[in-house]
Amino acid sequence: MSAFLLSAAVIFVAELGDKSQLMAMTFATRFKMLHVLAGITIATAVVHLGSVAIGAAIGDNLPRDAISVTAGVAFLFFAAWTLRGDSLSDEEAAVARTTRRTAIIAVTIAFFLAELGDKTMLATITLATQHGWFGTWLGSTVGMVAADALAIVVGAALGKRLPERVITCGAAAAFVVFGVLLIVEGVR
């Protein structure tokens, strides 16, 4: 229980103001809140399970620089994709709005990539070197999902008030900023 409580608190605080929260806000302007939360939960559970496995097995030996550069390049790709956009027929648009799977998959993949080498992943690894893996995994997952749930609520409220072009440009700009930051972090 102590590993759960400590991990939940540490990861919740570490996530505040993190790029993942901004991503959660951005996704919540485009997709239903429940779908965004489901994608975040899936990605977080998988990444943090891997993190506690690494932490329990080998401590802090993680090639963070290569992961950071790879994630940064992926984010630049996501920015270009966001700006390019896709053209949908009216029928396809109606299907996209009602299809849960598409939103959940997009959010899961983006969050999975964003969390690789992120401070919350490294914090989870560190916690797992000193505490039980299950409590650390469950606590870190709950802490991150709770912090991102706050961002989802804010993002959903903004999405109802902003034009779609502003949201698209903002999302692309966020991906570019995060991509460049990750690349710089990995190269230095």
106 or 130, which is more confident: 106
pLDDT for 10 beyond 60: yes
> Which one, of 120, 122, 126, lies nearest residue 141 by Cα?
120
Question: Is 0.85 surpassed by the pTM of this model?
Answer: no
Residues 140-186 pLDDT 10s? 999 999 989 988 887 777 766 767 677 667 767 877 887 788 788 87
Residues 111-128 pLDDT 10s? 898 888 777 888 888 788
End-to-end CA distance of the chain: 38
Give the pair of three-digit tokens for residue 113.
């990539």
Confidence of residue 5 (pLDDT cuts 50, 70, 90): very high
Q: In the chain, which ranges are continuous DSSP H helix?
A: 2-15, 19-30, 33-58, 64-84, 90-98, 100-115, 119-130, 133-159, 164-187
Distance, CA of 133 to CA of 112 (rounded, Å): 20
Confidence of residue 110 (pLDDT cuts 50, 70, 90): confident
Give the pair of three-digit tokens for residue 124.
């989870």
> Which one, of 134, 104, 122, lies nearest residue 43 by Cα?
104
Give the pLDDT of residue 182.
Answer: 76
- Residue corresponding to tokens 């899936």: 42
pLDDT for 99 beyond 80: no
Confidence of residue 92 (pLDDT cuts 50, 70, 90): very low
> Which one, of 132, 119, 137, 148, lies nearest residue 50 by Cα?
137
Give the pLDDT of residue 64.
Answer: 63
If you ran DSSP here, which 8-state letter would residue 99 be given? -
Q: How many residues does the chain have?
A: 188
Residue 133 burial (CB count, 10 A): 18
pLDDT for 95 beyond 50: no
Give the pair of three-digit tokens for residue 153.
């609520």
